[in-house]
C-alpha cells in the first residue's frame, strides 16, 4: 500500500510541476514534438501513397505486364542520358506479341498525346463547359478489357470503329463530371482541338493512383488509329500484356524475348525497353520509401536528441530548485528509489505529453492534406502512433536518469538547510 501511495504521490508531483510551468514545459519538448510530427506525418503519407498504388495495380490486374521504352512513369518520363537514343515501341507490337507468346491472353497498346501540341494546349469542351486538365490517349479497342477498366455508362468502341478511324471517345470520371454535370454524357459530342467526338461511354472512377488525381480519371480515350491519323508525331507508346492465369513469369520471359527480336537486338546487347509488373513497381516504390523513411528518422532523431537534452537540462534545474522538497520527502521516509522514480516519471510524463501533442498535430495535418488532396489519405498508421509515443517516453526515461540519480543522492540534512 505504501508503494502505491508513493507512486500516486510521484504522479501528482510530476503533473503539478509540469502544469505549474506550462510554457517552459512546452518549450522543453518542442524538439520532441517536431520529431514526432515529422515521423508520423511522413509515415502517414508513405502508407497512403503505397495503398493507392497497390489499389491502382490491383485494378489493372495482377497478371498484367507493362512495356515501355524508358524507365519511369510514361505520363511524366525522366529520360536518363543512356536512354536518350532509345526508339519508342510500336503499337503494332501488341498484336505480334499475342501471336508469338502462348502464355499471353491478350495485349493492348496505348499512345499518350502531349498536353501541348504545336504550341496550343489541348482542351475539351461541351457547350459552355470547358476543361484543360485532360490526358488525351489513343488506345486499341480492347484496352478496357485488358486493363480491367469498368464503365459506369455506355460502351467501349469496337475494332471496326477503330479500323475506320471513327471520331468517338470514352471519358474519365472527372472529365465526365466537368463537362456533363447532369450525367448525360453518353451520346453527346465534345469538341477537342477543332474536332468533334461522340461520347460512347464513361469510365468508373479509379480507386487507386499515384500522388493526387488518377490520370485515368481525366482521360479522353480515342481509338488508336484515329489518334495516329490526328497526331502522327505522338510517340509515347505503352503496351499492356495480359498473361494467362498462373503464367505471368513465363509470359514475362516470352514477351522480353519477342520484343528483343522485334527491336532487332543481338544476344550481347542489353534490352532497350523496360518491362514492369505490379509487384516489381511496388517493390521499387518500397525501396524508395525505405530511403525516405531512413532520412526522416535521421532528421527526427535530431529533434528528439535536442528535446532529450532540453528535458535533461530542465530536470537538472528542477532538482536544484526543489532541493528542500527532496530533503523533506527523504525526512518523512522516501527512499532513494522513490526519489529516482519521482524524477524519472516526471521526465517520461513530460516527453510523453510531447509525443501525444506530436501525434495529434500530425493527425490534424494529415486531415488537412487529405482535404486538399482527397486521393491521398494520410491517416497515421497505428504502428507510427504507438512508435512515436513509445520513443518519446523512452527519451524521457533515458535523459531523465542523470537528474533522477542526482536528486536521489542528495544528503537529506543538507537538503533541508537549502534555501
Interval 219-247 mean pLDDT: 92
Up-side HSE of residue 177: CA atoms within 13 Å toward CB?
Answer: 8
The rounded distance, in Å, linking the Cα atoms of 30 and 385 is 18
The angle, 0 to 180 degrees and rounded to 10, between the axes of the packed helices 323-331 and 336-372 is 130
Strands 116-117 and 64-68: unpaired
Which residue in the block uniquely carries the three cell numbers 487529405? 370
4-21 residue pLDDT tens? 444 566 666 666 666 666
Sign of the alpha-carbon dihedral angle for 41, 42, 43, 47? positive
Cα–Cα–Cα angle for 166, 171, 176, nearest 5°?
Answer: 135
373-405 residue pLDDT tens? 766 667 787 877 888 888 888 888 888 777 777
Please answer whether residues 203 and 196 qualify as being in contact, where contact means their C-beta atoms are separated by less than 8 angstroms: no
Interval 351-363 mean pLDDT: 87
Residue 413 clears pLDDT 80, i.e. is over it: no
336-346 residue pLDDT tens? 777 777 777 77
Q: Which three cell numbers stand for residue 33?
A: 514534438
Of 73-77, 276-280, 415-419, give the lowest mean pLDDT range.
415-419
pLDDT at residue 58 in the model: 66
The rounded distance, in Å, linking the Cα atoms of 238 and 111 is 7
DSSP letter string, 141-185: TTHHHHTTPPEEEE-PPPHHHHHTT--EEEE-HHHHHHH-TTS--
pLDDT at residue 57 in the model: 67
Of 18-27, 138-147, 362-371, give the lowest mean pLDDT range.
18-27
Interval 54-61 mean pLDDT: 69
Tell me the pTM: 0.70
Q: Which three cell numbers stand for residue 213?
A: 488525381
> Which among 363, 360, 364, 359 has a CA at the least distance from the CA of 389?
359
Higher pLDDT, 416 or 337: 337
Stated as kind and residue range, the H or E segment containing 219 is strand 219-223
**What's the burial of 114, exposed, middle or buried (CB within 10 Å: 0-12/13-18/19+)?**
middle
pLDDT at residue 77 in the model: 61
Helices (H), 273-335: 278-321, 323-331
pLDDT at residue 99 in the model: 93
Phi, psi of 22 (to 5 degrees): -60, -50
Q: List CB contacts of 184: < 8 A, sequence separation 6 or more.
A: none
Strands 168-171 and 129-131: unpaired
Stated as kind and residue range, the H or E segment containing 391 is helix 382-399
pLDDT at residue 151 in the model: 92
Please answer whether residues 71 and 80 qualify as being in contact, where contact means their C-beta atoms are separated by less than 8 angstroms: yes
Amino acid at each position: 500500500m505504501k508503494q502505491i501511495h508513493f507512486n500516486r504521490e510521484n504522479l501528482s508531483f510530476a503533473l503539478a510541476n509540469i502544469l505549474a510551468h506550462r510554457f517552459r514545459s512546452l518549450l522543453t519538448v518542442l524538439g520532441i514534438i517536431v520529431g514526432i510530427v515529422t515521423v508520423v506525418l511522413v509515415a502517414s503519407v508513405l502508407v497512403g501513397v503505397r495503398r493507392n498504388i497497390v489499389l491502382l495495380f490491383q485494378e489493372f490486374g495482377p497478371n498484367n505486364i507493362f512495356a515501355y521504352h524508358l524507365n519511369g512513369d510514361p505520363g511524366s518520363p525522366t529520360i536518363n542520358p543512356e536512354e536518350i537514343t532509345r526508339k519508342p515501341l510500336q503499337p503494332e507490337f501488341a498484336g505480334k506479341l499475342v501471336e508469338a507468346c502462348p502464355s499471353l491472353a491478350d495485349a493492348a497498346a496505348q499512345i499518350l498525346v502531349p498536353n501541348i501540341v504545336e504550341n496550343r494546349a489541348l482542351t475539351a469542351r461541351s457547350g459552355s463547359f470547358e476543361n484543360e486538365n485532360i490526358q488525351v490517349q489513343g488506345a486499341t479497342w480492347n484496352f478496357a478489357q485488358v486493363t480491367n477498366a469498368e464503365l459506369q455508362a455506355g460502351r467501349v468502341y469496337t475494332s471496326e470503329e477503330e479500323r475506320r478511324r471513327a471520331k468517338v471517345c470514352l471519358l474519365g470520371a472527372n472529365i465526365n463530371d466537368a463537362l456533363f454535370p447532369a450525367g448525360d454524357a453518353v451520346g453527346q459530342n465534345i469538341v477537342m482541338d477543332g474536332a468533334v467526338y461522340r461520347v460512347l461511354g464513361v469510365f468508373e472512377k479509379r480507386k487507386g493512383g499515384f500522388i493526387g488525381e488518377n490520370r485515368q480519371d481525366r482521360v479522353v480515350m480515342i481509338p488508336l488509329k484515329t489518334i495516329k491519323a490526328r497526331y502522327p508525331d505522338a510517340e509515347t507508346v505503352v503496351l499492356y500484356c495480359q498473361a494467362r492465369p498462373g503464367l505471368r513469369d513465363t509470359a514475362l520471359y516470352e514477351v522480353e524475348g519477342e520484343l528483343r527480336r522485334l527491336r532487332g537486338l543481338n544476344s550481347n546487347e542489353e534490352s532497350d525497353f523496360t518491362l514492369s509488373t505490379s509487384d516489381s513497381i511496388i517493390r521499387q516504390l518500397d525501396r524508395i520509401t525505405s530511403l525516405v523513411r531512413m532520412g526522416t528518422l535521421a532528421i527526427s532523431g535530431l529533434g528528439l536528441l535536442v528535446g532529450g537534452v532540453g528535458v535533461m537540462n530542465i530536470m537538472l534545474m528542477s532538482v536544484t530548485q526543489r532541493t528542500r522538497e527532496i530533503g523533506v520527502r527523504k525526512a518523512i521516509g522516501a527512499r532513494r528509489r522513490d526519489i529516482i522514480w519521482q524524477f524519472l516519471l516526471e521526465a517520461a510524463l513530460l516527453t510523453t505529453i510531447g509525443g501525444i501533442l506530436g501525434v495529434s498535430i500530425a493527425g490534424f495535418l494529415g486531415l488537412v492534406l487529405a482535404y486538399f488532396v482527397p486521393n491521398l489519405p494520410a491517416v497515421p498508421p497505428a504502428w507510427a502512433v504507438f512508435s512515436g509515443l513509445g520513443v518519446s517516453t523512452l527519451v524521457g526515461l533515458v535523459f531523465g536518469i542523470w537528474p533522477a540519480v542526482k536528486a536521489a543522492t542528495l544528503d537529506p540534512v543538507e537538503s533541508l538547510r537549502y534555501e
